[in-house]
Structure 1
Amino acid sequence: MTTRTPSRDTDTTRSPIATADSAEPAPPAGHYSHVATHRGVAPVSGQLPLASDGSCLSGKPFEVRARQILDNVDACLRLAGPYGSAVEVHAVAALG
């Protein structure tokens, strides 16, 4: 696990945004992170049906792709820490 905390903000009255990456989902592209946390909130978005080795499962059945996406979301939430519950979940899946 790699953890990065941006420290550009010199205002010490605000809590920092902590970012972290895991070896479980495929590595994030560019400057993105698997999860960012701030004051107990950990938004997770943009999960794709990618295996941990980076292979795309787009040609696989819907159930296989959906399971991989949910496994990726689970890995991100475990990385974020011991949060009690998900407040909001939105899921969009391409069926074609």
Structure 2
Amino acid sequence: MPALWRLTPGLTLRYRTWDNEAYVLYHNLTSDTHLMDAAAIEVLEALRSAPAPIEALAQALRLDASHLEPLSELLAELQEIALVECLPVPLPA
């Protein structure tokens, strides 16, 4: 079943960076802080504007098909810490 990825509703992206390598993100819904890399921040920023299927997200990030598996793994990690969620999209009848 196709799926859309989106930021967790109510999440406000607040983060700081040092040398554009290490990012500390504050999760306003849980009051946790997370150490992130640039790739994770790019994914979160891409999802800020609208939910997207992984293929569209990869295209927005200018990734080719060989990067879908690592992107999928990153999305799963972000989902584990409640920064994103996956919404199943029913197929048309």
TM-score range, shorter chain: 0.3 to 0.5
TM-score by length of 1: 0.32
If each structure's strand is expressed as a fraction of its own residues, which one has the higher value?
2
TM-score by length of 2: 0.33
If each structure's helix is expressed as a fraction of its own residues, which one has the higher value?
2
Between the two structures, name the one with larger relative contact order (CA 8 Å, sep ≥ 6): 2
Pair member with larger Rg: 1
